[in-house]
Amino acid sequence: MQVFFRHVRLDLLKLVIILVAGYFMQPAALAQPLKITLPNETTWIAIEASPSAPPVRTSTTTISPEMGKTKDATELENAGATASDRVIVGAGDQIFIAVFGQPDMSAEVTINDNGQVTLPLIGTLKIGDLSPQAIERLVAKRLRDGEYLRSPEVSVQVRQLRSQIFSVLGEVQRPGRFPLQGRLTVLDALATAGGVTTRADRIVFLIRRNHAKGTDTQRQEIAIELDQLVDKSRGDVDLELKNEDVVFVAQQKFFYIHGEVRRPGAYPMEPDLNLMRAISLGGGVTERGSIKRIRIHRQQSDKKITEFKPELIAPIQNGDVIYVDERLF
């Protein structure tokens, strides 16, 4: 029995030695913790060798332009393209037509009075009343049809826009003519001209030529209140400008009140102003004044001055002179 137990102890000792040696002699790679690295940008590709196999994820960073665009980027590009499509070139405009990879075919040209330009290889091309995007497609088509290039890439840049203009006149900081680039409104036109002066009237006139055939009216005048331009709750009257539009800001209109009022002087006109409101602006009638002895002096269209006794609800016009006389007793 002693010999048997001695052999068992030796076998157990050998087994323990083998296990300990195997633990310390294992490869270093197996002792390290497992790390998994996930790619930042992935795309889905299909295995061409096995059409029935499911798509496999790969960490490649080469992605198609359509997959690389986010929703915001796509919307931003569409908005930029829409704004650029609003630009229409015409006679006198200077544009630069670039053909990528072909500098000899690129040219900076000025559109003549017939709306035409002359380009290398293509010759005379009519591009008047077209947008830059339409010109790009037209030039690319001519290059393909003439078999000059198989897949031409054309870019058009507007260097000077002289055919599409609008004017801002009157009581503004920088009156003048400005190019109509993209979508501009009446409020944008006033900002382009530096804003209105302190003498500006509260009414802005948009003068627009009527190009419709068969109409007797050659131009249209649209009166817009400045308060409505900035207050959208009162209606969206910030109209979009068209070619040859004129934004006119008149000088502020005044009426005058003197005599037996507390604050005689000149006051700016207000919408729907009547005699009662005009007297209140002047501080009201004094103790010696009589509300029944009020006269208005008004200049007529023939430059003559007329005097009349008004009612309290009588409307006040530009340039009226209101006189409040003393009471008799």
- Evaluate if residue 235 carries a pLDDT over 70: no
Torsion angle of C-alpha atoms 49, 52, 54, 60, degrees rounded to 10: 20
pLDDT of 163: 84
Question: pLDDT-derived band of residue 55, with 50, 70 and 90 as boundaries?
Answer: very low
What does the block give as tokens for 155? 């870019």
Query: For 175-202, b where at least 16 C-beta lie within 10 A, e where not — what string?
Result: eeebbbeeebbbbbbbebbeebeeebbb
| Most confident listed range (9-13, 22-26, 173-177, 202-206) | 173-177
pLDDT of 254: 93
Worst-scoring range by mean pLDDT, 15-19, 185-189, 318-322?
15-19
Identify the structural domains of the chain with CATH numbers, from first to last.
Answer: 78-160 (3.30.1950.10), 165-251 (3.10.560.10), 254-326 (3.10.560.10)
